């Protein structure tokens, strides 16, 4: 028996209520295409949830804000698009290849950047994003500025939707498994006291790299799936900083470091920006800013953390 078992997860009444809600939502997701005409809306909600959760997988657990998160999304999208356009690969193979390519990239990026602390890490990852944008924008082999379009035969909305459901479930379950494992405990220690974590025998550089690899894998899958759905990719859409900022806002709104938080934040914020974006284009960017500032000031532990705090208080008073 490993002694590394942190307390916390017991199936209390609150937990089982949460589980019930999750199961109902999952069932609804599975039957949605039979009665809901605009499943592309659901597809993108799930896509954003994966982006927010994969961001959370690294930032929420290690405390480092990766401002280049969209690079994994973009590279995943490009790799899968290139495979489908040039090699006429099966979309499933292309999507998985996109995820793997991004996790490999994450490993490469992590080697130099995980030596950096705080704001320096954020700045370095932001510049990596710019470097990728400029490179892809002028690289003819990947379509340069005009981008790539998938052959129309690839477009199968219902299949894409179900693959998206599977990836989203896998992503959330992975986050759950990681945060309950020895790996997650090591990351939690690193987040709180990195130097001490190292000196008590936790190889901080290794665990941080591993976390970024998982984060990159799921963000890469999200990018590949998004391209399958949109059937088009170009540098401004693939390496758009707004995607990173949106993922950050979603994760923070729901609750950074929690498993379900990014799911809640992702769904809420996507709906909000979607509704606002239709009638007031660009105003969603202002909303994102307000949400980030508001969350940091008022509920730094997000909707999930705050509601748990309130629940505990209410219980305590009884």
Q: Which residues bind another protein (CB under 8 A)?
A: 2-7, 185-186, 188-189, 192-193, 195-204
The pair of three-digit structure tokens given for residue 230, joined into one six-digit string? 């949109």
| Identity of the residue, 190 or 253, whose beta carbon is nearer to another protein in the bound complex | 190
Residue 124's Cβ-count burial label (10 Å; 0-12, 13-18, 19+) is middle
Residue 264's Cβ-count burial label (10 Å; 0-12, 13-18, 19+) is buried
Task: Please check whether residue 53 is in contact with residue 171, taking contact to mean a CB–CB distance below 8 angstroms.
Answer: yes
| Identity of the residue, 4 or 290, whose beta carbon is nearer to another protein in the bound complex | 4
Q: Give min distance, CB of 191 to another protein, in A.
A: 9
Q: Give min distance, CB of 51 to another protein, in A.
A: 27
Residue 314: phi, psi to the nearest 5? -60, -45
Q: Give min distance, CB of 7 to another protein, in A.
A: 7
Q: Give min distance, CB of 207 to another protein, in A.
A: 10
| Identity of the residue, 194 or 234, whose beta carbon is nearer to another protein in the bound complex | 194
Output Rg (C-alpha) for the chain, integer angstroms.
20
d(C-alpha 254, C-alpha 306), whole Å: 9
For the chain, list the strands marked E by DSSP: 148-149, 232-233
Non-local CB neighbours of 284 within 8 Å, separated by 6+ positions: 272, 273, 276, 277
| Identity of the residue, 169 or 205, whose beta carbon is nearer to another protein in the bound complex | 205
Q: What is the DSSP string of 5-39?
A: --S-----HHHHHHHHHHHHHHHHHHHHHHH-S-H
Q: Give min distance, CB of 5 to another protein, in A.
A: 8
Task: Please check whether residue 211 is in contact with residue 62, taking contact to mean a CB–CB distance below 8 angstroms.
Answer: yes
Question: ∠ CA(97), CA(89), CA(48), 5° rounding?
Answer: 50
| Identity of the residue, 3 or 316, whose beta carbon is nearer to another protein in the bound complex | 3
| Identity of the residue, 197 or 267, whose beta carbon is nearer to another protein in the bound complex | 197
Q: Give min distance, CB of 186 to another protein, in A.
A: 7
Q: Give min distance, CB of 52 to another protein, in A.
A: 23
| Identity of the residue, 90 or 199, whose beta carbon is nearer to another protein in the bound complex | 199
């Amino acid at each position: 028996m490993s002694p590394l078992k942190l307390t916390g997860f017991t199936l209390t009444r609150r937990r089982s209520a949460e589980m019930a809600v999750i199961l109902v939502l999952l069932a609804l997701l599975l039957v949605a295409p039979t009665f809901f005409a605009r499943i592309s809306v659901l597809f993108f909600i799930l896509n954003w949830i994966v982006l927010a959760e994969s961001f959370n997988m690294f930032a929420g657990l290690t405390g480092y804000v990766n401002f280049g998160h969209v690079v994994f999304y973009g590279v995943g999208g490009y790799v899968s698009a290139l495979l489908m356009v040039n090699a006429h690969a099966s979309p499933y193979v292309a999507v998985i290849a996109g995820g793997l390519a991004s996790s490999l990239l994450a490993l490469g990026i992590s080697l130099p950047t995980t030596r950096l602390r705080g704001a320096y890490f954020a700045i370095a990852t932001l510049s990596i994003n710019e470097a990728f944008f400029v490179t892809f924008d002028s690289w003819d082999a990947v379509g340069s500025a005009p981008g790539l379009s998938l052959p129309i035969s690839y477009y199968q909305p219902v299949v894409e939707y179900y693959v998206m459901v599977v990836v989203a479930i896998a992503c959330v379950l992975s986050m759950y498994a990681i945060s309950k494992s020895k790996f997650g405990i090591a990351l939690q220690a690193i987040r709180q006291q990195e130097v001490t974590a190292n000196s008590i025998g936790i190889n901080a550089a290794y665990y941080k790299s591993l976390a970024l690899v998982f984060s990159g894998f799921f963000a890469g899958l999200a990018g590949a799936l998004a391209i399958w759905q949109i059937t088009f990719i170009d540098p401004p859409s693939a390496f758009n900083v707004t995607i990173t900022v949106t993922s950050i806002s979603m994760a923070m709104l729901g609750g950074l470091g929690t498993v379900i938080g990014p799911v809640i934040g992702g769904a809420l914020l996507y709906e909000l920006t979607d509704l606002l974006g239709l009638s007031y284009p660009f105003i969603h960017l202002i909303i994102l800013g307000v949400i980030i500032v508001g969350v940091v000031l008022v509920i730094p532990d997000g909707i999930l953390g705050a509601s748990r705090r309130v629940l505990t208080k209410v219980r305590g008073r009884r």
